[in-house]
Amino acid sequence: MTAKTIGIIGGGQLGRMLAMAAARLNFRTIILEPQADSPAAQVANRQITAAYDDPAALAELARLCDVVTYEFENVPVAAAATLAASVPVYPPPKALEAAQDRLVEKRFINDCGIPTAKFHAVDSQEGLEAALKDFGGQGVLKTRRLGYDGKGQKVFRSPADSAEGAYAALGSVPLILESFVAFEREVSIIAARSTDGTVVAFDPAENVHRNGILHTSTIPASISDATAEAARNAAEKILSSLGYVGVIGIEFFVLADGGLIANEMAPRVHNSGHWTEAACVVSQFEQHIRAVGGLPLGDAGRHSDCVMQNLIGDDILTVPDWLKRKDALVHLYGKTESRPGRKMGHVTVLTAKT
């Protein structure tokens, strides 16, 4: 197979794992990332050290690569569109547009026939107070753009929680207030769509978050076959609507009756899909490389049950103990500095498939 070059915008751990998967399939990778010696660049063929929207860097990336992808959803849409004029960009820039703004995302998901929490756009303190009144004084206030891992949010648990100054406290930027959802558990599904329209989905994972950051993903999730099928169907609707190519992660709330409420989507490989590298023959990272590289998608079946746990901050100190276990796959991200809330690696513990 002739070696092709894949450009990856973003140099974090997701880009690192994409580059590793690409190398196994005889692809070269070039990283565009402003931080020198990024985790991804440590395992890629080359890094272009420049801003994501630097015109000269984008031109060089387009010239050197056969296809370009990205590892995070806050890539400037204009930069992706500029690249797409001269080289295939997967997932398509319109997937970035849909995912970068929480209000646009919610409306898009609803247009696909998939329910979400109720929501109000909030563009002023007065607008926030009116939205809270409509939701009985409760809800989750979020920035519409750039929020992740619990950042850029404020929770109103009861009418007694003061909203005074909340709009300004979140930066006086466009916000969205989402209603609470009475859910039993959180799940996510990782699915891929190829250039020929084939869709393949991994088994849904059941997720537990701590301080707004994913702590564990457990497979299989404690959901019915019907709920799992509904998650797959929702993923296929979203992928098809976007003309998507690559892997996507979609998070859901599971209701008491097994129904699903979509929370958010990420147009990239996803933290809750890291388990696939240990429990499946083809990981989410290889699946993404196959999709954007024009190769057939792999089988998404798992050979084991498992629990994936993130190593966050000082959790990195537990690695020697994890390495002594026979049932654990340890994956570290090449980061030299540990900080509270920073993802340093992950561990997947395997058990016999049930």
pLDDT in tens, 216-248: 999 999 999 999 999 999 999 999 999 999 999
Which pTM was predicted? 0.95
> What are the strands, taking DSSP E only, across the chain?
5-9, 28-32, 46-48, 67-70, 119-122, 139-143, 153-156, 175-178, 185-193, 199-201, 205-210, 213-219, 246-254, 260-266, 304-312, 328-332, 343-352
- Contacts with 252 (C-beta within 8 Å, 6 or more apart), sequence order: 186, 187, 188, 189, 204, 231, 234, 260, 261, 262, 263
Could you state, in chain order, the average pLDDT of each consecutive group of 10 residues for the chain (354 residues)?
A: 86 98 97 95 97 97 97 94 97 95 96 97 94 94 77 85 89 94 97 97 97 95 98 98 98 98 97 98 98 97 98 97 98 94 97 95
State whether residue 120 is helix, strand or coil: strand
DSSP assigned state of 163: -
Q: With contact defined as beta carbons under 8 Å apart, do 186 and 178 qualify? A: no
Sheet holding 139-143, edge to edge: 119-122, 175-178, 139-143, 153-156
* pLDDT reported for residue 146: 74
Domains (ranges, CATH) in the chain? Answer: 5-89 (3.40.50.20), 118-178 (3.30.1490.20), 185-352 (3.30.470.20)
As a whole number of angstroms, the distance between CA 80 and CA 55 comes to: 11
Give the model confidence (pLDDT) of 35-58 as tens digits: 998 999 999 999 999 999 999 999
- ∠ at Cα 88 (83, 93), nearest 5°? 65
How does DSSP classify residue 108? H
User: Which residues are within 8 A (CB) of 139 and not within 5 positions of it... i.e. 6 or more apart?
Assistant: 131, 132, 155, 156, 177, 178, 179, 180
**Bridge partners of 191?**
201, 248
pLDDT at residue 2, rounded to an integer: 57
Q: pLDDT at position 159, please?
A: 86
Whether residue 204 has a cis bond before it, omega within 30° of 0? no
Confidence (pLDDT) at 30: 98
DSSP letters spanning 253-295: EEPTTS-EEEEEEESS--GGGTTHHHHBSS-HHHHHHHHHTTP
